[in-house]
Amino acid sequence: MFLGTGFIIEDGTVLVTADHNIRGFIDTPLYFTTATDVTTFWELEVIDRDPLHDLALLAVDAGYAPQMPRLTVLGEDFEPATDQQVQTTEYGHTEEVDGRLKLRPATRIGNVTRVIDATENLSGPAGVDALEISFPALRGASGAPVFYSFYRPGQVVGVIVANASYDLLPIQIETDLTDDNTLLEERKYLLPQALAVNIKHLLPMYNRHLKGQS
């Protein structure tokens, strides 16, 4: 069963994801695979969870050798730059076909549009200083990293956990009438934008389990 997206940080031994991805599977063996080798699955072990901020750390199977540069976590003085390009790679298009996963990664590029209070959208502390992102998040994208492309390449600024939908202003409505003037069809356009948990909420777990080991 495909649960969502995650990403490996720092020395390659730890994977970060959204806690709601694993919430119902704590007592079930967890594994991850990659788009470069969908035939191999590596085991994960839960290290720590922060349900209030919807974040989780998992230990990566020691036999896994990262295939791409690892992402880094910003320090205590992090302030998101809204004028810098960020991106993500997420697996929201992934399907299960005949019992096998078909991973379909997608890269999305945009910027942090603003830092907002999303406590109502994200049900509490996870919404404190949440990052609103200019691109949408598909179902299955939860747990994906939002990281700088050029400003501080590879440094994570947030973890995608949800979407926020807004009406376009002004609301755009198309009206279609049939030949006999009896059918009215209206289409209301929405502007979905990803919501990401601010990476500062990961720092307590990060400090305990990564910095504490160095």
For position 177, which CATH number holds? 2.40.10.120
Confidence of residue 20 (pLDDT cuts 50, 70, 90): very high
Asked if residue 196 belongs to a domain, the reply is yes
User: What is the distance between the terminal CA atoms of the chain, rounded to a whole angstrom?
Assistant: 35
Domains in the chain: how many in total? 1
CB atoms within 10 A of CB 22: 20
Confidence of residue 79 (pLDDT cuts 50, 70, 90): confident
Q: Is the pLDDT of residue 108 over 90?
A: yes
Number of H helices, E strands in the chain: 2, 16
Contacts 24+ apart (CB under 8 A), 56-59: 56/16, 56/17, 56/18, 56/19, 56/21, 56/22, 57/14, 57/15, 57/16, 57/205, 57/206, 57/209, 58/6, 58/14, 58/15, 58/16, 58/17, 58/22, 58/30, 59/13, 59/14, 59/15
Average pLDDT over residues 3-21: 90
Asked if residue 190 belongs to a domain, the reply is yes
Asked if residue 1 belongs to a domain, the reply is no
Whole domain around residue 39: which residue ranges? 6-213
Rounded to the nearest 10 degrees, how much is the dihedral formed by the CA atoms of 151, 156, 157, 163? 120
Asked if residue 208 belongs to a domain, the reply is yes
Rounded Cα gap, residues 15 and 12, in angstroms: 8
Q: Is the pLDDT of residue 69 over 70?
A: no
Asked if residue 57 belongs to a domain, the reply is yes
Average pLDDT over residues 46-63: 94
Asked if residue 173 belongs to a domain, the reply is yes
Asked if residue 97 belongs to a domain, the reply is yes
pLDDT given for residue 58 in this prediction: 95
CB atoms within 10 A of CB 136: 18
Non-local (6+) Cβ contacts of 135 within 8 A are 88, 108, 109, 110, 193, 194
pLDDT, tens only, 157-199? 999 999 876 655 555 566 666 566 666 566 666 678 999 999 9
Confidence of residue 36 (pLDDT cuts 50, 70, 90): confident
pLDDT given for residue 146 in this prediction: 97
pLDDT: is 139 or 118 the higher one?
A: 118
8-state DSSP, 10: T
pLDDT given for residue 119 in this prediction: 94
Asked if residue 148 belongs to a domain, the reply is yes
Q: What backbone phi and psi angles, to 5 degrees, belong to 18?
A: -75, 135
Cis amide leading into 136 (omega within 30): no
